[in-house]
Amino acid sequence: MTWKRIVLGIGNPGAEYEGTRHNVGFMVLDLVAQRLGLAWKRLERKDSAGTKLFSGKVKATLAEGSARGQAFVLVKPLTFVNLSGDVAGPMLRHGELTPEALLVVLDDLNLPLGKLRLRANGSAGGHNGLRSIEAVLMTQAYPRLRVGIGAPETGFVDHVLERFSAAEKVAVLPALIRAAEAVEGWLARTELNRLMDVFNRDE
């Protein structure tokens, strides 16, 4: 299947990181896959003829689908956050796609809890996952969807690696659903500016 669009969620692999704030990107993609009836599978390194497709360091789970007749893939890297570019770069090269065909979904502690921010490009803003992707792609010109996780007064590292409290889950679940809707809109070729008008506003 030749993908025309790639959605990459940023997060850390492993059960110990499931449900943590840093894994919001994974949570959104899980919702998208569930809503669209897609199944997750491990990345295959070779095609049916045995031709090598990816190097050994490209580790991810994928969910493939189509929207408006165009194939897409959801990607959850099995590398850690700060190595997200090791997956994003080869995936784009494999599909011979430009960075504009990549949507990255991630957590953002500079946004209030549950706030969404969709942009066509921009800086990493201190996020190591975006830094890794930008270092590999050598550009900031790719869309990204940030989901606010709020910021603590101190202890940023501990904050992003902790799970949401019961009260926070109530606040963040509607944002995860709206983020999934934004991803689906992008996959369906809705104009990015229109999606920004809808999903960047305060609810």
Per residue in 99-139, pLDDT (tens digit) is: 999 999 999 988 999 999 999 999 988 899 999 999 999 99
Catalytic residues: 22
Residue 99 one-letter amino acid: P
* Residue in the structure block whose two tokens are 């080869």: 90
pTM comes to 0.94
At 81, list the tokens. 């956050």
Instruction: Decide: 62 and 74 in contact? Cβ < 8 Å.
Output: yes
Q: Strand (E) positions, the chain?
A: 5-9, 41-42, 60-67, 70-77, 102-108, 116-119, 144-148
Distance in angstroms (rounded) separating the CA atoms of residues 60 and 42? 6
Distance in angstroms (rounded) separating the CA atoms of residues 25 and 62? 14
* Residue in the structure block whose two tokens are 């990493």: 124
Bridge-based pairing of strands 144-148 and 116-119 is antiparallel
Identify which of 3, 65, 4 has the alpha carbon closest to the alpha carbon of residue 38: 65
CA distances from 166 to 19, 110, 137, 169, 171 (A): 12, 21, 38, 5, 9
The helix-helix angle for 128-137 and 85-94 (nearest 10°) equals 40
Predicted confidence at residue 183, as pLDDT, reads 98
Average pLDDT, consecutive stretches of 10 residues, N- to C-terminus, the chain (203 residues): 92 93 95 97 88 89 95 96 95 94 95 95 91 96 95 73 88 95 97 96 70
Instruction: Decide: 47 and 53 in contact? Cβ < 8 Å.
Output: yes
Identify which of 129, 103, 110, 119 has the alpha carbon closest to the alpha carbon of residue 199: 119
Predicted confidence at residue 65, as pLDDT, reads 96
- Please enumerate in sequence order all residues whose Cβ is within 8 A of that of 42, keeping only pairs 6 or more positions apart, or say none: 60, 61, 62
Predicted confidence at residue 155, as pLDDT, reads 63
Chain length of the chain: 203
Instruction: Find residue 118's DSSP bridge partners.
Output: 145
